[in-house]
């Protein structure tokens, strides 16, 4: 259902470096790169993540209540992704753990304050 998600950034270079390193944990690679936007994906027809400078040239800001969920394969991968995000300068929004029966997740914010969860079900 989702083709791609775009989040704003105020520093495209720093954000691209953050996500280049972070998304290697998901085997994602850059599929688009220009002066305003960088996009990563895992293959044709699969959801993608993009960062961009706002079109109106205003300041990018994280949406209150907005969160991007990254589906992972295992609890170990959830833990690795969370640790990697913090290592890269992201901030902790909730350590890895079971949030409800069958849902294991860890929460973090990127360099621009956008909220993410890495999770696995089952």
Structural domains in the chain, sorted by start? 4-54+67-121 (3.10.180.10)
Q: What does the pLDDT look like over 70-94, one tens digit per residue?
A: 999 999 999 999 999 999 999 999 9
- Give residue 65's pLDDT: 84
CB within 8 A of 33, min separation 6: which ones?
16, 39
> What are the beta bridge partners of residue 98?
104
18-73 residue pLDDT tens: 999 999 999 999 999 999 999 999 998 999 999 999 999 999 998 888 999 999 99
Q: What is the pLDDT of residue 18?
A: 98
Residue with tokens 């304050």: 113
b/e 89-118 (16+ beta carbons within 10 angstroms → b)? ebeeeeebeeeeeeebbbbbbbbbebbbbb
Nearest C-alpha neighbor of 63 from the set 109, 15, 114: 114
On whether the CB atoms of residues 111 and 90 are closer than 8 A, the answer is: yes
Tokens at residue 65, please?
A: 């209540």
48's CB contacts (< 8 A; 6+ apart) are: 3, 4, 5, 31, 39, 40, 41
């Amino acid at each position: 259902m989702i083709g791609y998600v775009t989040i704003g950034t105020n520093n495209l270079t720093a954000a691209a470096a953050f996500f280049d390193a972070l998304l290697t944990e998901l085997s994602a690679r850059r599929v688009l790169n220009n002066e305003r936007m960088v996009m990563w994906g895992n293959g044709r027809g699969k959801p993608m993540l993009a960062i961009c400078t706002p079109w109106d040239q205003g300041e990018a800001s994280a949406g209150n209540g907005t969160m991007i969920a990254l589906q992972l394969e295992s609890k170990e991968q959830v833990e690795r992704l969370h640790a990697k995000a913090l290592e890269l300068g992201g901030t902790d929004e909730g350590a890895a753990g079971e949030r409800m029966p069958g849902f294991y997740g860890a929460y973090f914010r990127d360099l621009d304050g956008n909220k993410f969860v890495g999770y696995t079900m089952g």
